[in-house]
Chains A and B, each alone.
Chain A
Amino acid sequence: MGSSSLHISLRPLPTLLLVAALVLLPVGLTAVDQPFYIVLASRVLIYALIASSLNVLIGYGGMVSLGHACFIGAGAYTAAVLVRAGLDSAWLTWPAAALAGGILAAMIGVVALRTRGVYFIMITLAFAQMAYYVVVSLRVLGGDDGLTLPHRAGYGFGLDPRADMTFYYAVLGIVLLLMAGLRQLLNAPLGRALQAIRDNDTRMEAIGFPVFRIQLAGFVVAGAAAGLGGSLLADLNQQVSPSLLHWTQSGTLMVMVILGGVGRFLGGVLGAAVLLLVQELLSDVTTHTALGIGLVLLAVVLFAPAGIAGLWRQVAR
């Protein structure tokens, strides 16, 4: 089979350099006496994962979901509840969080995917709002204040997750694994079908593809990945709160995706990195970072809708 334009290629040298840089980053940061930034790097990686999961939905699946934050919340709260209950092995919380995100996505997707266009956007928003209000109202989930985690989930093998560097490497491992998995998925028949449905679902239906089931599968995968990201966020902050499920979180994720490049494989990663780093830089200068973000976002949508990855592609040509 020849290489198709849809194929997400893996160029060995750039990938190797990128991975090497990420692996050496904490070492380098410690060497220049800036270990604080290891935590920021961990946050960037986690959001890179979550934004990539949304990119699968929006960019590759054509399903514009304004409710992605609820899957993050599902995973985060699952991890928090487990750790507080004493079941604090990461090898349990990670799959549990992914499962929580996936199951919630299945439940929402079954209803939402019957709608199209703006109705889909609205109904995903509505379900996310429902999840938000339920979480806020239940005292067992901490209500408005959320829950704190007494400690991060443990990995065994004598590793201490409290050490920021250890946590960073755990996050890096998961993110690399999941990105590889997403690439496999998107290059596989399921991923191709997803993209074809994005382009013309009527045609795919007419040809005989089970459009609903394929979209649901994509929705569930994205939800599970976001759930896993949520559990990592719970570990990072050692607390979970309803704000994780607020619709502005979903909005921020969308900003990341479009900033990086909708439908480009590294779009979520680039967008997360740029947005979080810009926020970090701006917050040293002013408290009104949202103004800068808003202006940048507006400019990107109006003048460079293909995002950074799109600009890169133009420059490279």
Chain B
Amino acid sequence: MPLALIIEQALNGLQLGLMLFLLAAGLTLVFGIMDMINLAHGSLYMIGAYLAATVAEASGSFVAAIAAAVGGTAVIGMVLERTILRPLYRRSHLHQVLATFALILIANELVRIIWGAQPVALNMPAVLSGPVELAPGLRYPAYRLVVIGVGLAAALLLYVVVAHTRVGMWLRAGASDREMASAMGVNTAWLFTAAFGAGAALCAVAGALLGPLLAVQVGMGENILILAFVVIVIGGIGSVRGALVGALLVGILDTVGRTLLPAVFRALAPPAVASEAGPALASILIYVLMAAVLYFRPRGLFPARG
């Protein structure tokens, strides 16, 4: 197994992990502060990708596309929060699951009606479509490096906001003990809407950035949504730091595992077994990780609540 391939897969894993983090951060905050399971988070990611694709097609500018996606999705998210989701905070998790599942169905169908059932093209900027030579013999796509860069920048920004600003303090207080935070004078209504809008914006960034790499199609949100939930369960609900650690773990384990595990099996087991057992095990690796984490740390690695 050449070193270059492993490094390339590790970088891919880092990229996936950072994008997962963008999704997981919003999800964990909503879950932590508002105690709400939001299955429609994946739909916001999908809407972000579709908005980006449409604006990119119309304007030819990738930057404009991302900006439009972020703005549009944040607005949609905040409107959703104010209208449909707010009554759900008081309800049981079952009702939240069902209501947001309904939103997934509605969002998927609306997207299908507006944009059609075929995948939509979102092309990366031409200037980034070539490879970059990171080291002699190690070339990596420029676009993916940019995605990693944006992901790291977003992670840094989130860290600064959550750990070093007043708003971040409110968020952490709300995630730790919502009633107490409200009693201490935090304007929870505004905070909830803003947190949801921020989460939606992050989803849109991830959707727009991943659009050129994965397909922009109906249902793209569900696949990544499950990964995001695995991430926040591993990381600990309500913790942005947990979301980062969990996302990197999941991203790297999943990507490297899919390359390494089949190779290991091919080396150790007869081909008939290896050709199936390897990929099968690789695809369930992250769920095994989640089960293992929950077994030893039932509240995740960095639970926000004491």
Interface residues of A (CB under 8 A from B): 58, 64, 66, 111, 114-115, 117-119, 121-123, 125-127, 129-130, 133-134, 136-139, 247-248, 251, 254-255, 258, 262, 288, 290-291, 293-295, 297-298, 301-302, 305
**Which residues in B have their C-beta under 8 angstroms from that of A115?**
294, 298
Question: In the assembled complex, how far is the CB of residue A222 from the closest CB belonging to chain B, in whole angstroms?
Answer: 15
- Chain B's closest residue to A291 (CB) is B109
Interface centre among A118, A119, A297 (most CB of B within 10 A): A118
Question: A123-B291, A129-B287 given as contacts; is B102 within 8 A of A301 (CB)?
Answer: yes
Q: Within the complex, what minimum Cβ distance (angstroms) separates B97 from chain A?
A: 7
Q: How far is the CB of A308 from chain B (nearest CB, A)?
A: 14
Shortest beta-carbon distance, B126 to chain A, in Å?
35
Residue B115 lies at the interface, judged by CB distance under 8 Å to chain A: no
Closest chain-B Cβ to A124's Cβ sits at a distance in Å of: 11
Does any Cβ of A come within 8 Å of B105's Cβ? yes
Residues from chain A with a CB closer than 8 A to the CB of B226 are 125, 129, 247
C-alpha spacing A137/B102, complex, angstroms: 30
CB distance from A233 to the nearest CB of B (A): 21
B-chain residues with CB within 8 Å of residue A122 when the two chains form the complex:
229-230, 233, 290
Interface: B283 (CB within 8 A): yes
Complex contact A290–B109 (CB within 8 A): yes
**Number of interface residues, chain B, beta carbon within 8 A:** 42
Asked if B266 is an interface residue, CB under 8 A from chain A, the answer is no
Q: Which of A126, A254, A294 contacts B97 (CB 8 A)?
A: A254
Say if the beta carbon of B276 comes within 8 Å of chain A: yes
Could you give 19 example pairs across A and B, Cβ below 8 Å? Answer: A118-B93, A121-B37, A122-B290, A130-B284, A137-B280, A248-B222, A255-B98, A255-B101, A258-B94, A258-B98, A288-B112, A290-B105, A290-B109, A293-B105, A294-B104, A297-B99, A298-B99, A298-B102, A302-B84
Q: C-beta contact mask, B71-93 vs A, less than 8 Å → 1, else 0?
A: 00000000000001001100101
Of residues 146 to 190 in B, which have CB atoms within 8 Å of A's CB atoms?
A: none
* Interchain CA distance A64-B95 in the complex, whole Å: 10
Q: Which residues of A contact B299 (CB under 8 A)?
A: 119
Residues of chain B with a CB closer than 8 A to A66's CB: 97
Query: What CA separation (Å) do A130 and B287 show in the bound complex?
Result: 7
Which residues of the partner chain A approach B214 to less than 8 Å between Cβ atoms? none
B132 at the interface (CB under 8 A from A): no
Least Cβ–Cβ distance between A127 and chain B, in angstroms = 7
Whether B276 contacts A139 by the Cβ 8 Å rule is yes
Provide the residues of chain A in CB contact with B212, threshold 8 Å: none
Please give, as numbers and ranges, the residues of chain B lying within 8 Å of A125 by CB-CB distance.
226, 229
A137 to B283, CA, bound (A): 9
Q: Given A114, A138, A293, A298, which contacts B276 in the complex, CB threshold below 8 Å?
A: A138
- Name the CB-closest residue of B to A262: B94
Instruction: State in angstroms the CA–CA spacing of A126 and B230 once bound together.
Output: 8
Partner among A118, A119, A294 whose Cβ is within 8 Å of the Cβ of B106 = A294
Residues of chain B with a CB closer than 8 A to A293's CB: 102, 105
Bound CA span A138–B99, Å: 34
Report the bound CA distance from A127 to B284 in whole Å.
9
Assuming A134-B280, A291-B109, A295-B102, is B94 touching A64 (CB within 8 A)?
Answer: yes
CA distance A230 to B94 in the complex (A): 24
A134-B284 in contact given A119-B294, A301-B102 (Cβ < 8 Å): yes
**Nearest B-chain residue to A292, judged by Cβ:** B109
Task: For the complex, give the distance between the alpha carbons of A123 and B125 in Å.
Answer: 40
What's the nearest-Cβ distance from chain B to residue A77, in Å? 15
Q: Is the CB of A64 within 8 A of B283?
A: no
Query: Is A290's CB under 8 angstroms from B108's CB?
Result: yes
Q: How far is the CA of A293 from the CA of B31 in the complex (A)?
A: 26
A111:B97 contact, CB within 8 angstroms: no
Q: Pick the most buried of B99, B104, B113, B237: most chain A CB atoms within 10 A of its CB.
A: B99
Any chain A CB within 8 A of the CB of B121? no
In the bound complex, CA of A121 to CA of B226 (Å): 12
Select B280's contact among A111, A133, A302, A305, beta carbons within 8 Å: A133
Q: How far is the CB of A307 from chain B (nearest CB, A)?
A: 11
B36's nearest neighbour on chain A, judged by CB, is: A118
Given contacts A66-B97, A119-B298, A121-B37, contact A298 B287 (CB under 8 A): no
Chain B residues near A291 (CB-CB < 8 A): 105-106, 109-110, 113
Bound CA span A199–B84, Å: 28
A305 CB contacts on chain B under 8 angstroms = 91, 95
**Bound CA span A123–B298, Å:** 11
Q: Which chain B residues lie closer than 8 Å to A136 at the CB level? A: 283
Task: Give residues of chain B (44-95) contacting chain A, Cβ–Cβ below 8 Å.
Answer: 84, 87-88, 91, 93-95
- CB pair B280–A295 under 8 Å, yes or no, is no
Assuming the A-B contacts A66-B97, A291-B109, A295-B106, are A138 and B290 also in contact, with contact meaning beta carbons closer than 8 angstroms in the complex?
no
| Chain A positions within 8 Å of B229 at CB level | 122, 125
Roughly how many angstroms separate A293 CA and B106 CA in the complex, as a whole number? 8
Nearest-neighbor residue (CB-CB) of A139 within chain B: B276
Measured between alpha carbons, how far is A251 from B31 in the docked complex, in Å? 20
Distance in angstroms between the alpha carbons of A121 and B227 in the assembled complex: 14
Top 5 A-B pairs ranked by shortest CB distance?
A: A294-B105, A137-B280, A291-B109, A294-B106, A297-B102
Within 8 A of A (CB), among B238-296: 276, 279-280, 283-284, 287-288, 290-291, 294-295
Distance in angstroms from A216 CB to nearest chain B CB is: 17
Whether B294 lies near A123 (C-beta < 8 A) is yes
Given that A118-B93, A119-B298, A298-B99 are contacting pairs, would A137 and B279 also be in contact in the complex, using a CB cutoff of 8 Å?
yes
